[in-house]
Amino acid sequence: MVNETQHIRQIILEKLYRAKGRTISGVRLSELTGISRVAIWKHIHALKQDGFLIESSPKGYFLTDPDNLLLPVCFDPPLSERIHYFPRVTTTMDTARELARQGVPHASCVVAEHQTKARGRLNRKWESDPGGLWITLILTPDTPPALAYLYNFAASLSLSLTLETLFKLDVRVKWPNDLLLEGKKLAGLLSEIETRADMIRFLLVGIGINVNNDPSSSAFEAISIGQALGRPVSRKKILAQFLQCFFDRIQDLNARNIMGAWKQRTSTIGTRVRVETRNQTIQGLAQDVDDAGTLWVKDSKGQNHPIIYGDCFHT
């Protein structure tokens, strides 16, 4: 799935990472990859254009920001064995789907630097430039399909807790699958399930997080962690902490526990909302999100509406 160009660039990045800030000569990189020094220079130039912080000197090349590399080699086992890294993909969901059908292990994670055709819910375009964190989790749980929704809520909850732990940011979850910071979109989730009879064949949870990228060109009001803090942050730390938090959380897939903790982190309950479903638009006050993940909205006439699926806007 990784083409020859991507493979060579991944080798270059791995060698630079293992050097721990020391300079590696073009000659040495040429020997390690089996290509010419001119070709090495071209690959380095392309990597710089993709946002990798590589410095050049008369002696060679070195990384100035290894904490932002997301290669498997950058993580300790067993996490390093779960990560499937790609510099560029159409979408991490597409790549994860292919890998899932090939039978990769439960709890694998597809990571990409850039997605060329990223989409969110309802096929909306999602900006995913280098600097963000674009991942899809591949899960093959021994869980009834009726409980699959809990993985999405567990993921948004875990991400909210992770960002609070690492950066003291008050990140709120919005029903059904967004994360907000200062009322602006920080991250979004998208789930997909493939079943066989009454079993989950695999479940994909795609997550896009604005980290060090500039999301100002998005169609909606958005923010990145770097913008909120006024400095770049380590994507590596975010990914490692989030995956640990998420996998710990789903060890006991209890609806009451997960939804109870999720409700403590949400900004949707108690807010006036407009929810667009396939057949209607409902406006009113968000009263609750129950253990089944259903949003309850009371309209102006006092009628309560249970909403299982829809686009929710805080008004």
CATH fold for the domain made of 72-265: BirA Bifunctional Protein; domain 2 (3.30.930)
DSSP conformation class of 210: -
pLDDT at 129: 83
Q: Is 37 annotated as a binding residue?
A: no
Tell me, what DSSP letter sits at residue 5?
A: H
Q: Is 115 labelled a binding residue?
A: yes
Domain spanning 272-314, CATH class: mainly beta
For residue 306, list its beta bridge partners. Answer: 296
| b/e 247-275 (16+ beta carbons within 10 angstroms → b) | bebbeebeeeebbebbbebbbbbeeebeb
Distance between CA atoms of 165 and 186, rounded to whole angstroms? 16
Give pLDDT tens digits for 270-289.
Answer: 999 999 999 999 999 999 99
- For residue 125, what pLDDT is reported? 65
Tens of pLDDT, residues 27-75: 999 999 999 999 999 999 999 988 788 999 999 999 998 878 999 999 9
CB distance 215 to 222 below 8 Å:
yes
Residue 218: what pLDDT? 66
Does 208 show up as a binding residue in the annotation?
A: no
Q: Is the backbone peptide bond immediately before 176 cis, with ω within 30 degrees of 0?
A: yes
Please indicate, yes or no, whether the overall pTM of this predicted structure exceeds 0.85: yes
215: CB partners within 8 A, 6+ apart: 127, 132, 185, 222, 223, 224
* pLDDT for the residue 52: 87
**Residues of CATH 3.30.930.10 domain(s) within the chain?**
72-265
Boundaries of CATH 1.10.10.10 in the chain? 4-64
Q: Which residues of the chain have pLDDT under 70?
A: 1-2, 120-127, 217-219
Q: Is 287 annotated as a binding residue?
A: no
121 is in an annotated binding site: yes
pLDDT value at residue 128 = 79
Q: Does domain 4-64 have CATH number 3.40.50.1100?
A: no
